[in-house]
Amino acid sequence: MLKFVVRRLIYSLPVLLIASIVVFWVVHSTVSPSAALNFNPRASIADKLRYSKALGLDRSGFAQYISWLSHFLRFDWGFSLSSQLPVGPQIRSALANTLELGVVAIVFSLLIGIGIGVYSAVRQYSILDHIFTGGAFFGISIPTFWFGLIVQLVFGLYLVRWFHWKEPLFFTAGMFRPGTHGFHIVDRLRHVALPALVLSVQLIAVYSRYMRASMLEVMGSDHLRTARAKGLSERRVVVKHGVRNALIPITTQVAIDIGTLAGGLIVTEAIFQWPGMGTLFLAAMDNGDYAIVLPWVVLIVTSVILFNLIADILYAVLDPRIRYA
C-alpha cells in the first residue's frame, strides 16, 4: 500500500509543476498586474513603474516565474493592490468559509444520495425507484441561480408572511447576524441551511444515480452470488460486500467535487452573499487585483490534483486489487 501511495505522489509532482507554469503564463497574459492602478486617478506613471518593479515584471518571464514560485511555496503571497491587505489571510478566510458551506452540502448529499441509490438498486423498478429516478432528473435540471432565488422567496418572504414570524426560520444572506461576536452554532446553522440546500439538490441527484448504477452492476457480480450461496443474509451481502465495491465509482465524483470547492461556489455565494472563494475571485477580477487572482487560480488547480490523488488512494483502500495493478 505504501509503495502505491508513494508512486502516486511521484506521478503528481510533475503534473503540479506543469500546471503551475501554465497557470502563471495564462494569468500573466490575461490579467494586467497594474490594472487596479488604472482605476486610481492619482496613480502616476511612476507609481505604475514602481509597482511593476516590486512585482519583478521588469525581468524575464522565466525569472518572474521562479521568483513567484519561491514566494508562493513560502506562503509569501504579497499584498492586495485594491485593499492593501496581505493576500494570504484573505484567501485563507475565504477558503475556510467556502469549505464550511461545501462540506456541509457534500456530507448531507452523500448520506441522502447513497441511501437513495442503494434502495433504488435493491428495489429496482419499484414505485419509489421510479419516483427517485424522476426526482433525480428533475434535480439535475434545476438551475442553481433559479432555485436559490426561489428558496430565498419562500423562506425569506412567503413563510414569514403566512406564519407571521418576526424573522425567517432560515436566513437568506450572510454567515451571521450583524453585530454578532464569536461563533454561535445555532445562528450559523440558520445561515448555512439554505445555501447548503441549494447546493445539495443537484449533488443528491448525481450521487443517487451513480450509486444506483454502480450497485446494480455489483449486485449481479460473481462474488455476491457466491456470498449468497454460502448462506449469508441479504442484508450482510448488500451492506458489507455490495456497498463497499459500489462506492468506487462515486469516489471519483466526490473527490472532484471536494477539489473544486477551493474555487468557490460562485453562483451560490453570490446569491446568498456568502464570503467565500467565489466572492473573493469576482471582487479580485472586478478590481484587476493580480496579486489575488494568481494564487487563487494556482490553489484551485493544486486542490483538484490533490483530491484526485486522494481518490486514487481511496480506490486502493476500497478495492485491494487496484494497488497491485
Query: How do residues 181-220 score in pLDDT, each as one tens digit?
Result: 767 888 888 899 999 999 899 899 999 998 998 888 888 7
Average pLDDT of the chain is 82
Q: To the nearest 5 percent, what fractions of the chain are helix, strand and coil?
A: 75, 0, 20
Confidence of residue 250 (pLDDT cuts 50, 70, 90): confident
Q: Render pLDDT for 71-107 as a digit per residue (tens, 0 to 9).
A: 888 888 888 877 778 888 999 999 899 988 988 999 9
Confidence (pLDDT) at 196: 92
Q: How far apart are CA 325 and CA 264, in angstroms?
A: 35
Confidence (pLDDT) at 112: 93
208: exposed, middle or buried (Cβ count in 10 Å: 0-12, 13-18, 19+): buried
The structural domain count of the chain equals: 1
In this structure, the number of other CB atoms found within 10 A of the CB of residue 37 comes to 19
CATH code, domain with 227: 1.10.3720.10
Q: How far apart are CA 109 and CA 33, in angstroms?
A: 40
- CA angle, residues 167, 168, 174, in degrees to nearest 5: 100
In this model, does residue 43 exceed pLDDT 70?
A: no
Beta carbons of 318 and 248 less than 8 angstroms apart: yes
Q: What is the mean pLDDT of residues 256-261?
A: 79
Higher confidence at residue 254 or residue 151? 151
Q: What is the pTM of this model?
A: 0.80
Its domain, for residue 255, covers 2-324
The share of the chain scoring above pLDDT 70, in percent, equals 87
Nearest alpha-carbon partner for 113 in 212, 187, 182: 212
